[in-house]
């Protein structure tokens, strides 16, 4: 049997019969993302960061935000293969007030975007 390394217990559970040697969690350097509240934001929004695709479920993030009553900011790339999903499913849910689409952001913007958020949604 081929030796395997997992990234989570959840991954191990899906392939319980695999020859797991260890779990190595995704790592981020300490201090990479720190709260950096801009005046007036104070974590007043939820953040979604990723690809605008059906498998990343931005529509579910919007539903979570609506149920909590918090604003949601979506920072995501809309690739050619995901454009129809975005236009048909997600875009009609974006009102520009409670749900804001900021588009794709660069590495230099991610720290501030995440640091000003109350929480990151990754449904």
pLDDT tens digits, 56-94: 999 999 999 999 999 999 999 999 999 999 999 999 999
If one compares 40 and 58, the residue with the highest pLDDT of the two is 58
Is 45-120 assigned to CATH 3.40.50.2000? Answer: yes
Judge whether residue 38 has pLDDT over 80. Answer: no
pTM over 0.75: no
The residue ranges of every structural domain in the chain are 1-30, 45-120
Residue 123 exposure: Cα atoms within 13 Å on the Cβ side: 16
Q: How far is CA 7 from CA 14, 23, 25, 123, in A?
A: 12, 5, 5, 18
């Amino acid at each position: 049997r081929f030796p395997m390394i997992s990234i989570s217990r959840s991954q191990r559970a899906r392939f319980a019969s695999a020859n797991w040697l260890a779990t190595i969690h995704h790592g981020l350097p300490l201090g990479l993302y720190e709260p950096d509240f801009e005046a007036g934001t104070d974590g007043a929004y939820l953040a979604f960061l990723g690809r605008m695709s059906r498998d990343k479920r931005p529509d579910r993030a919007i539903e979570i935000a609506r149920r909590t009553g918090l604003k949601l900011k979506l920072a995501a790339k809309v690739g050619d293969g995901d454009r129809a999903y975005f236009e048909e499913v997600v875009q009609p849910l974006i009102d520009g007030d409670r749900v804001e689409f900021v588009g794709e952001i660069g590495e230099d913007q991610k720290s501030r975007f995440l640091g000003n958020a109350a929480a990151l949604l990754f449904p």
